[in-house]
Amino acid sequence: FATNLLANVGFGDALGMAKVPNAVIQKYEGSFFSFIKGALGGDLQTLAGGPLFLLLAKYYTDYGPIFNLSFGPKSFLVVSDPVMARHILRESSPDQYCKGMLAEILEPIMGKGLIPADPETWRVRRRAIVPGFHKRWLNRMINLFGDCGERLINDLEVRANQKTTVDMEERFCSVTLDIIGKSVFNFDFGSTTKESPVVKAVYRVLREAEHRSSSFIPYWNLPYADKWMGGQVEFRKDMTMLDDILADLINRAVESRKEATVEELEERDNAEDPSLLRFLVDMRGEDLTSKVLRDDLMTMLIAGHETTAAMLTWTLFELSQGDPQMLREVQAEVRTVLKGKDRPDYDDIVAMKKLRYCLIEALRLYPEPPILIRRARTGDTLPAGGTELKDGVKILRGTDIFISTWNLHRSPELWENPEKYDPTRWERPFKNIGVKEWEGYNPNKITGLYPNEIASDFAFLPFGGGQRKCVGDQFAMMEAAVTMSMLLNKFDFELQGRPEDVGMKTGATIHTMNGLNMIPKINDEIPETTGWWEARSKSVQVNGHSI
């Protein structure tokens, strides 16, 4: 790899970019043998000697908010600056950046679904799908979240009585899979209560999608890979099974189609089938012959399931680790608001602000996904942001870009005590005047129930930002608030083993290494609190930054 090192010297100049530092991954990788293993397996994680986003975090400390990263012939511009992220995600035209290599990787699974879709397909599909997530539907979904949460509670009650350990990460994956199945295509995976071949197929497809997204050799494109490569043969079978199920669900919905306008559909109750599929099939003018409906359903199954599960997992983990007063405050809030009820309605969720901020704080420390991927379709110039590059950074057509949400969310330039799980931070403004053109975090700019990219001026991107922002953000936050409040209302949780044994590994989402093993204990008493949250919310911490 001496050649690689040479090829990277002055790479920025060769592409006509303003000079940004070069990081060559091979230089930092742990051992020669793991490099060879990574290169042969085409696996970025092995090549990087651990999760790629952690390597990018190290380079961020060494090189600052923008640098080039090269793996052999491939190179990426890694961006960890809110002003540059704002430019790419919101200020440039929607045609200027596409999903690039992410689309290439996901195409065999999601087709032209909304996440990988090219800008032209995306424009048409986004317009069709967004109305499906209307306010009345979201409110109706709260009941569904409660029903699925109830199955989980029943199971945990049994485990609590037996005093057995439960892997809560696995439980959260089951409950979110059941929710996405019912809400998106009215299919009951029933994964909270039983194992089935379909559920296993979903998980194997997810793992394959994650493996592909961390590979730089497209092994799945090798000739006839699905005929002779063990994992690929199985993957093909799983995809066929899921495709058959989706085709059947779509056909059944089409057979009972009752066309209507979007406004009429929003009023419709559809109690027996409130799914998004029903909405899309009934929508007047929707083209039901093309494959994009299947692609969008598959995309939402994959995008909307483990992301929410990960947020729940890390919230429960952090709450069980932090100051015991923090957990007591949140449980006191939940148990007071629910007052003997076993599930919340919309107004209850509005009243549970501490719980909501705990959930969103988990997405700051564990962003899902930890990297956003783009490719420049035309030349562009990024603003200088927090760098000294006076003329900004020139981008050539075809440049692959990683926006590191992990680095943004944990940057000491953008947050006070960034490594600390502190949900009260969302109550306090923060601004570093050293980062030019960045407005800072301002709680007065929160418009909905959660702080997001707008309130933080693109330093916090829990659901991305701009045109390609997540369509399921409100859905996911509501789902998580219902599930977590039902659990904290009824149980205390005791982590088994040391916190550091929980570990972390990643694909598209950040998973634990060894599960989140906890013993649930039934308890619904309202704990005593000492005003810890309020005191912290008011305190303004300066930390050398201007506020």
CB of residue 79 to ligand HEM, shortest distance in Å: 13
Secondary structure (DSSP) of 288-357: -SSTHHHHHHHHHHHHTTHHHHHHHHHHHHHHHHS-HHHHHHHHHHHHHHHTT-SS--HHHHHH-HHHHH
If one counts every other C-beta atom within 10 angstroms of the C-beta of residue 414, the result is 27
CB of residue 417 to ligand HEM, shortest distance in Å: 22
CB of residue 318 to ligand HEM, shortest distance in Å: 15
CB of residue 342 to ligand HEM, shortest distance in Å: 23
Whichever of 125 and 335 has its CB closer to ligand HEM, that residue is 125
| Cis amide linkage into residue 369, ω under 30° from 0 | yes
Whichever of 160 and 355 has its CB closer to ligand HEM, that residue is 355
Residue in the shown chain whose Cβ atom is closest to ligand HEM = 472
What are the start-end ranges of the H helices in 64-118?
82-86, 101-110
Residue from 463, 491, 493, 533 in contact with ligand HEM (CB under 6 A)? 463
Look up residue 464 and give its DSSP letter.
B
What's the 3-state SS for 171-233? HHHHHHHHHHHHHHHCCCCCCCCCCCHHHHHHHHHHHHHHHHHCECCCHHHCCCHHHHCHHHH
| Cα dihedral value 540, 456, 102, 129, nearest 10 | 130
x/- binding map, residues 503-542, to ligand HEM, per CB under 6 A? ----------------------------------------
202 touching ligand HEM, by CB under 6 A: no
What are the start-end ranges of the H helices in 2-51?
2-8, 11-14, 25-28, 32-41, 44-48
Residue 76, helix vs strand vs coil? strand
175 touching ligand HEM, by CB under 6 A: no
Q: Which amino acid is at 189?
A: F
Whichever of 160 and 312 has its CB closer to ligand HEM, that residue is 312
Q: Is the dihedral of CA 14, 18, 24, 27 positive or negative?
A: positive
Residue from 304, 344, 370, 507 in contact with ligand HEM (CB under 6 A)? 304
Q: What value, to the nearest 5°, has the Cα angle with vertex 13 and ends 11 and 18? A: 115
Residues counted in the chain: 547
470 touching ligand HEM, by CB under 6 A: yes
Residue from 471, 482, 486, 510 in contact with ligand HEM (CB under 6 A)? 471
Q: How far is CA 345 from CA 34, 188, 218, 337, 485, in A?
A: 51, 23, 46, 10, 11
For the purposes of burial, counting CB atoms within 10 Å of the CB of 251, is it exposed (0-12), middle (13-18) or buried (19 or more)?
exposed
Whichever of 35 and 463 has its CB closer to ligand HEM, that residue is 463
Binding part of the chain for ligand HEM, among 12-20, 185-193, 231-239, 464-472 by CB under 6 A, reads: 464-472
Binding part of the chain for ligand HEM, among 41-49, 52-60, 300-308, 349-357 by CB under 6 A, reads: 300-308
Describe the crossing of helices 353-365 and 324-338 by its angle, rounded to 10 degrees: 140
> Which of the residues 280 through 299 are near ligand HEM (CB under 6 A)?
299
If one counts every other C-beta atom within 10 angstroms of the C-beta of residue 158, the result is 11
78 touching ligand HEM, by CB under 6 A: no
115 touching ligand HEM, by CB under 6 A: yes
Q: Which two three-digit tokens encode residue 533?
A: 């949250």
Residue from 425, 428, 468, 511 in contact with ligand HEM (CB under 6 A)? 468
Residues touching ligand HEM, count (CB under 6 A): 23
Detail the residues annotated as belonging to a binding site for heme: 470
CB of residue 426 to ligand HEM, shortest distance in Å: 16
Give the burial string for 337-370 (b: 16+ CB within 10 Å, else e).
Answer: bbeeeebbeeebbebbbbbbbbbbbbbbbbbbbb
404 touching ligand HEM, by CB under 6 A: no
Residue from 64, 82, 132, 472 in contact with ligand HEM (CB under 6 A)? 472
Whichever of 39 and 461 has its CB closer to ligand HEM, that residue is 461
Detail the residues annotated as belonging to a binding site: 470
Whichever of 71 and 122 has its CB closer to ligand HEM, that residue is 122
If one counts every other C-beta atom within 10 angstroms of the C-beta of residue 309, the result is 27
> Which of the residues 353 through 382 are near ligand HEM (CB under 6 A)?
363, 368, 372
Residue 404, helix vs strand vs coil? strand
The residues, ordered by sequence, that sit 6+ positions from 73 with a Cβ below 8 Å of its Cβ are none
303 touching ligand HEM, by CB under 6 A: yes
307 touching ligand HEM, by CB under 6 A: yes
145 touching ligand HEM, by CB under 6 A: no
Binding part of the chain for ligand HEM, among 75-83, 206-214, 379-387, 456-464 by CB under 6 A, reads: 456-464
CB of residue 477 to ligand HEM, shortest distance in Å: 7
Residue 48, helix vs strand vs coil? helix
300 touching ligand HEM, by CB under 6 A: yes
CB of residue 352 to ligand HEM, shortest distance in Å: 17
> Which of the residues 408 through 427 are near ligand HEM (CB under 6 A)?
none
Residue from 39, 114, 177, 239 in contact with ligand HEM (CB under 6 A)? 114
* Chain contacts with ligand HEM (rule: CB under 6 A): 114-115, 122, 126, 299-300, 303-304, 307-308, 311, 363, 368, 372, 462-464, 468, 470-472, 475-476
